[in-house]
């Protein structure tokens, strides 16, 4: 009996002594400790504190493929007057930006290359929350709040003409001129389970786009274009 208890206790000690990987905690990677920061090598990058940026162009520029940027619940805030992008990539594929706040930029995240993702971000008081230029990209589970529908310009998720096969899913978007916009006429993208509120235009899509299970409230024009799938889309 004592031997059995010792074995059981040893298993408990071994279990609780193991490091736990919880959502939002970062695996080992390069620390982004100040801005601006240029990523020139593939790999994992992370924040370990809130950072501010007052320069032009981009706070974090990605110049390598296969990059994960985990903000770890911290923030990147523009405190200057000319910063265009919080995080930007133009030529290199497979960027993922996740789990933190980006605020007060012209564009919070620029996904300018294919196979790139913005996931679980808080994008607050940017002129454009996420701008997509690449193909096979995704914007998922983001909280995106702009500067109000009466501002001169503002788009929560902006998909440009060169993009295609984009997934926009599970986002909460409000306080923009246009909540979600796809200006491509052949993009064939999907918009699923988003909530858009307090904007002039809710969801404005191209003729090859499809949408489902979206809810649009307090928008002057709830839906424009696109093809609704099923009867789950709602609006006032």
229 found inside a domain:
yes
85/112 Cα distance (integer angstroms): 12
2 found inside a domain:
no
List average pLDDT for each run of 10 residues in the chain, which is 236 residues long: 39 36 52 97 98 94 98 96 90 97 97 96 97 96 93 92 93 98 88 97 95 96 90 53
Tokens of 41: 């090598």
187/135 Cα distance (integer angstroms): 9
- Give the angle subtended at the CA of 73 by the CAs of 71 and 75, to the nearest 5°: 70
The predicted pLDDT at position 28 comes to 60
DSSP line for 126-144: -SEEEEE-SBS-EEES-EE
Are 165 and 145 a contacting pair, CB within 8 Å?
no
Q: Sign of dihedral through CA atoms 84, 87, 92, 94?
A: negative
The CATH number of the domain holding residue 76 is 2.160.20.10
Closest CA to 189 of 165, 169, 212: 165
52/58 Cα distance (integer angstroms): 12
Q: Sign of dihedral through CA atoms 205, 159, 73, 104?
A: negative
Are 132 and 108 a contacting pair, CB within 8 Å?
no
54/200 Cα distance (integer angstroms): 31
21 found inside a domain:
no
* Domain assignment of residue 164, given as a range: 29-235
147 found inside a domain:
yes
- 26 DSSP assignment: P
24 found inside a domain:
no
- Give the angle subtended at the CA of 124 by the CAs of 232 and 104, to the nearest 5°: 145
User: Quick one: which H or E segment has residue 28?
Assistant: none
Tokens 């529908």 correspond to 149
Helix residue spans in the chain (DSSP H): 2-16
The predicted pLDDT at position 66 comes to 98
173 found inside a domain:
yes
200 found inside a domain:
yes
Instruction: Show Cβ contacts of residue 163 under 8 Å, excluding neighbours closer than 6 positions.
Output: 132, 133, 134, 135, 137, 182, 184, 187, 189
Tokens of 38: 């240029």
Tokens of 96: 């993922």
105 found inside a domain:
yes
The predicted pLDDT at position 23 comes to 40
How many C-beta neighbours within 10 Å does residue 107 have? 23
* Cα end-to-end distance, the chain, whole Å: 68
Give the chain's domain count. 1
């Amino acid at each position: 009996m004592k031997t059995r208890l010792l074995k059981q206790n040893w298993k408990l000690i071994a279990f609780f002594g193991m490091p736990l990987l919880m959502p939002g905690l970062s695996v080992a990677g390069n620390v982004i400790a100040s801005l601006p920061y240029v990523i020139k090598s593939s790999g994992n990058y992370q924040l370990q504190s809130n950072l501010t940026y007052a320069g032009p162009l981009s706070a974090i520029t990605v110049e390598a493929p296969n990059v994960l940027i985990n903000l770890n619940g911290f923030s990147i805030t523009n405190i200057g007057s000319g910063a265009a992008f919080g995080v930007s990539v133009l030529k290199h594929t497979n960027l993922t930006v996740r789990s933190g706040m980006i605020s007060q930029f012209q564009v919070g995240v620029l996904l300018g290359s294919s196979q790139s993702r913005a996931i679980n971000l808080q994008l607050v008081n940017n002129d454009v929350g996420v701008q997509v230029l690449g193909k096979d990209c995704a914007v998922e589970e983001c909280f995106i709040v702009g500067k109000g529908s009466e501002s001169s310009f503002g788009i929560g998720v902006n998909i440009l003409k060169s993009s295609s096969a984009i997934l926009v899913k599970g986002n909460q978007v409000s306080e923009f001129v246009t909540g979600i916009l796809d200006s491509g006429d052949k993009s064939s993208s999907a918009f699923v389970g988003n909530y858009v509120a307090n904007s002039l235009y809710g969801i404005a899509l191209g003729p090859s786009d499809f949408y489902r299970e979206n809810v649009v409230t307090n928008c002057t024009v709830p839906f424009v274009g696109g093809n609704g799938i099923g009867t789950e889309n709602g609006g006032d």
